[in-house]
Structure 1
Amino acid sequence: MKRKRRSKCVSYAKWGYIFLIPFFLVYFIFQLLPLISTFYNSFFENYRVGLMQIGPKFVGLQNYKEILFNSELPIYLKNTFIIWMMGFIPQMFFSLLLASWFTDLRLRLKCTGFFKTVIYMPNLIMASAFSMLFYTIFSDVGPINNLLNSMGLPTYRFLSEVAGARGLIALMNFLMWFGNTTIVLMAGIMGIDTSILEAARIDGANSIQIFRRITLPIIRPIMAYTLVTSLIGGIQMFDVPQILTNGNGNPDRTSMTVIMYLNKHLYSKNYGMAGALSVILFIITAILSVAVFKYVTKDMVNVGEKKVKKAKGV
């Protein structure tokens, strides 16, 4: 009788799980446990008055009611949204413009690698250093005002005007992140099949029509990703306005963001209110992210459903 030879198969699946252990371990210790702790502390009254410690005392949803109905959270949410929009709109415009230029083979641009490096470099600079640089340049006795005075123009107090303070914060966020957004959008555009673009040019479509009718619809998932991540980053905006306005959100707290408001509670050792505010921001961020993603990708889902129905003959 011939013995059946059993082929020895080596399973590498276990190694994949082993390599994932460090990630899950770090995530559990530094993210999941703090998240659970924040949610737990949000139900307690726990703060310090001078040298006296109040609590922890279980108060249920009292911290949430205090923040939602008796605080200035809507004002700080409005400030955050305005500053984010002031930086995000030009960021998307210039990023799309640069990405389309760098990926257009007909232009034959030279030194594209150098320019990509230059526009990405501000993303590598620490936000604190960037903020101190802008604080020095746009101060009342800084180089910009000295230039204005030499031209016979009056001194403009950038950090004492609402438009000036918000504009500087938005400008810094734009400069720090438009390079990263450009690289991401370039990756999406470079993934488009060149035969589609060539066929459109043969049919007589110009560059603007190709960009509007072909490029934008195809890279919509990348744009949705960029929009959601930028929205999350905008809600978490802290370091730039904190340093530029010395933590006060001047003038008259018009540039104070929600994370700066959260930091006030943490600084005052009011852990219960800080925990409740963190949970509320987490819920707001999740709702806005899902809503934006659904809105941006709804046309793609509708087109996919129509193709499925057509294939089934419905």
Structure 2
Amino acid sequence: MASAAQRKIRSISYAKYGYFFILPFFLVYCFFQLWPLINTFILSVYGNGKKVDEFVGLGNFQALLFGTGMGRTSSAIHETFFQTLGNTFIVWIGNFIPQIIISLALAAWFTDAKLKIRGKGFFKVVMYMPNIITAASVAALFLSLFAESKYGPINNLLLSAGIINEPIKFVTGVWQSRGMIMFIQCWMWFGNTMIMLMSGIMGLNPSLFEAANIDGASSGQIFRKITLPLLRPMMLYTLVTSMIGGLQMFDIPYMYTKGTQRNLYTKTVAVFIYEHFREKMPTPNCGFSAAASVILFLITILLGSVTFYMNRDTDEIAKKKERKANMKALKAKQKQLGGMDI
């Protein structure tokens, strides 16, 4: 028979101590993330919080989306906002497409059992290294290499080789500067994407690849018929995370500039938000920044929802509908028989 002490020990529940361990996370989240998020929605409506402020109310959204409500200011803000929104999508799509193609090809190459590649670990580390370099260092490196004067290393090399007759505007040109930022973003992130895709491929059932090899399937057939279909969840994760990061792109577009004058064709929404929050002195307008943040937040939710909807498992949905229909028919039949089990 158990003693009183043993019964007391058994009656103690240690589950509550788990909440003490996770409590710091929720406190930090509420203080540094949840409250700033709520405050952003408040600022998007009330602007700087001044009663005499002309940007109070929904005028911030009207100015950004429709160019109305604030006279000349509305039109200028509207044009600038949609210019930065277009730049954001152009730069993100332009770096994501080559990034996913290169990463997928390298992931399939490194995980192919038929290929005996030496030094796989070395190549993985080298390709991942740009991801851990700070954005400021990367921007300074490319600004030095692609300086627009004839003394810039790349321009000087091209001029000396007779490939070009005048320096290329890598920093201030419309598509030259966009192309450079696309290249930098792709170069920085393809290694991270490659590692994620490799982990997805290595998590697939190896017996499928063995059976395909026994049947005489080529590497291309295995990749198209087995790897790609089974890798769809990881591809979806990569697409969504890249989309979120691309819409919030800030560091490289902000720092890859000539002097203090930023290129209008590479300015993203995040840079627009920062400028109106910090740099529009002496009276920065938090309302425009907050409204632009809310609009970007809603665009991200919309695109994410559409992406998940388009990549849903239609076969599983059809099976669920079939099961529900069968259960409904079974219940109807039981009801006809007076509730008796069939």
Q: TM-score, normalized by length of structure 1?
A: 0.89
Structure 1 residue 75: Cα displacement: 2.2
- Which runs of 5 or more structure 1 residues have no equivalent in the other structure? 48-52
Partners of 1:10 and 1:95 in 2: CA distance: 52
Match of 1:207 in 2: 219
Alignment of 1:242 with 2:254, yes or no, is yes
Shift of 1:3: 7.0
Distance change (3 Å), C-alpha of 1:146 and 1:306: same
Question: How big is the shift at 1:30?
Answer: 0.5
C-alpha contact (below 8 Å) 2:169/2:177 kept by paired residues: no
Distance 1:58 1:242 in 2: 26
Distance change in 2, residues 1:3/1:261 (3 Å): closer
8 A contact 1:83–1:166 mirrored in 2: yes
Provide the rounded CA distance (Å) in 2 between the counterparts of 1:78 and 1:58.
24
Give the structure 1 partner of residue 64 of structure 2.
Answer: 67
Shift of 1:9: 6.9
Partner of 1:189: 201
Query: Residue type of the partner of 2:109?
Result: W
Distance 1:80 1:183, change over 3 A: same
CA distance in 1, matches of 2:55, 2:248: 28
- In the alignment, is residue 285 of structure 1 matched against residue 300 of structure 2? yes
Query: Is 2:272–2:289's contact at 8 Å kept on the other side of the alignment?
Result: no
Does 1:274 find its partner at 2:274? Answer: no
> Aligned pair in 2 of structure 1 residues 222, 27: CA closer, same or farther (>3 Å)?
same
SS at 1:43's partner residue? helix
2: CA distance between counterparts of 1:248 and 1:293?
39
Q: How much does 1:306 deviate?
A: 3.7
Corresponding position: 1:150 with 2:152: no
Partners of 1:172 and 1:110 in 2: CA distance? 28
What is the deviation of 1:211? 0.9
Q: 1:271 to 1:208 in 2, by over 3 A?
A: same
Instruction: Determine helix, strand or coil for the equivalent of 1:159.
Output: coil
Classify 1:198/1:64 alpha carbon distance in 2 versus 1 (closer, same or farther; 3 Å): same
Q: Out of 243, 262, 276, which is 1:231 matched to?
A: 243
Among candidates 37, 40, 46, match of residue 38 of structure 1:
40
Q: Which has the higher strand share?
A: 1
CA shift in 2, pair 1:18/1:77, >3 Å: same
Which region of structure 1 is more displaced relative to structure 2, 113-122 or 156-165? Answer: 156-165
State the secondary structure of the residue aligned to 2:66: helix
Note if contact 1:46-1:55 (Cα within 8 Å) is conserved in structure 2: no
CA distance 1:3–1:159, shift in 2 (3 Å): closer
The whole-number CA distance in structure 2 between the counterparts of 1:211 and 1:313 is: 37
Describe the shift of the 1:311–1:215 C-alpha distance in structure 2 as closer, same or farther (beyond 3 A). Answer: farther
Q: Report how many aligned residue pairs link the two structures.
A: 303
Q: CA deviation at 1:310?
A: 6.9
TM-score by length of 2: 0.82
Supply the RMSD in Å over aligned alpha carbons: 2.4
- Shift of residue 117, structure 1, vs aligned partner: 0.7
**Per-residue deviation at 1:215?**
0.8
TM-superposed CA distance for 1:35, in Å, is: 0.8
Match of 1:29 in 2: 31
Q: Which residue of 1 aligns with 2:75?
A: none
How far 1:147 sits from its partner (Å)?
A: 0.6
Structure 2 gaps, min length 5:
68-77, 327-342
* Pairing 1:1-314 to 2, within 5 Å after superposition: 8=10, 11-46=13-48, 55=52, 59-70=56-67, 71-72=78-79, 73-140=81-148, 141-152=151-162, 153-154=164-165, 155-246=167-258, 248-250=261-263, 253-266=264-277, 267-268=279-280, 269-295=284-310, 297-298=311-312, 301-308=313-320
